[in-house]
Amino acid sequence: MVVRLSEQWPEVSPDRLLSECVPPPRFADVRFATYRPNPGEPTQSEALTVLQDRATHLAAPRRSPSFWSRFRASSPVAGKPGIYLDGGFGVGKTHLLASLWHEAAAPKMYCTFVELTNLVGALGLRTAVEKLSSYRLICIDEFELDDPGDTMLISRLLGQLFNAGVEIAATSNTLPDKLGEGRFQAIDFLREIQALAARFDVRRIDGPDYRHRGLPTAPDPWPDEKVEQEAAVRPNASCDHFVDLHRHLAELHPSKYGALLDGIETVAITDLRPLTDENIALRLVVLADRMYDRNLPLLAGGVPLDQLFSKDMLKGGFRKKYLRALSRLIALARAA
């Protein structure tokens, strides 16, 4: 029986949000030993070495916050409480981040930036700080600041966690002192961003997107009838009209998008259309991330995936989000 995602109304408790803060299935088995640096990109090997060194330290029992204050004072670069991997799409940042998490001592947490903001929203800042201050390591994938509210919230959260001795590892497609650039320019928020950036040891990772080496364009879309027929014979498949799906996403909090995919093994979408509404586009980005986390093949009809986001969107402040989503959706469509 084909499932309609647009007819599902999952409920997600704060406890479930916290318990699911582990690497997604796609990265459950990755390790440093399985990372293959591109020989032509030395920054990839350098990042691997840096993360392995930090993993050795994180595997040891946690020291007190006062110890790390003294350590960082004597070693201002190596002793920074955060490690920040900056780079383009498909260079292995998430692979390295998940490998670090696997090596670290518990308690530890792994989440995307969106999942972190959703968690803090569900728990409240004070409760989030109380629950997370005992953690050895918190890994944050796809770190980004989309609005001033997120800036203040995450700055306060991470500042208190750093002071409690928690170490933070993050990945992003944007340097930490450039977060929010092109979206908001208020000087007070710029100070918050720069103060946050100062807590991270930034490592750049260069290279082409491994998902599209030699495969730069989207596959041809299927006729809608073929999408529906294929979904009907695949086990645990969903199938939705694109308009029905994006309207439903508007009625769900993004923290529920992962639960929306519970039990789904293939996602089918008919009548994909070019987007011009930024709100719809950003919701699709979150859904694409949750699909990619779960390695769900995508059956797609309508316009080719590389025409999903308008040219203006791909030039705007959220362009990196859209490019990442395209990279992932195209990979999932090829998997189907």
Instruction: Tell me which of 87 and 241 has the higher pLDDT.
Output: 241
**DSSP H helical ranges for 36-166:** 42-58, 65-74, 93-103, 113-123, 125-132, 148-163
**pTM (two decimals):** 0.74
Q: What is the pLDDT of residue 214?
A: 44
Q: Is the pLDDT of residue 262 over 90?
A: yes
Instruction: Tell me which of 57 and 6 has the higher pLDDT.
Output: 6
Q: What is the pLDDT of residue 187?
A: 54
With CA atoms as reference, report the closest residue to 249 among 221, 219, 223, 275: 275
Confidence of residue 317 (pLDDT cuts 50, 70, 90): confident
Q: At the topology level of CATH, where does 31-208 sit?
A: Rossmann fold (3.40.50)
Q: What is the pLDDT of residues 292-301, one digit of tens each?
A: 989 999 999 9
Q: What is the pLDDT of residue 87?
A: 82
Q: Is the pLDDT of residue 330 over 80?
A: yes
Mean pLDDT for the chain overall = 85
297 and 255 Cβ atoms separated by less than 8 Å: no
First-residue to last-residue Cα distance in the chain? 19
Confidence of residue 50 (pLDDT cuts 50, 70, 90): very high
> In this structure, what are the phi and psi dihedrals at residue 42, rounded to the nearest 5 degrees?
-60, -25
Confidence of residue 249 (pLDDT cuts 50, 70, 90): very high
- For the chain, give every domain's residue range: 5-12+211-335, 31-208
Q: Is the pLDDT of residue 67 over 50?
A: no
Confidence of residue 18 (pLDDT cuts 50, 70, 90): confident
Q: What is the pLDDT of residue 215?
A: 42
Classify strands 82-87 and 200-205 as parallel, antiparallel or unpaired: parallel
Chain centroid offset of residue 329 CA: 14
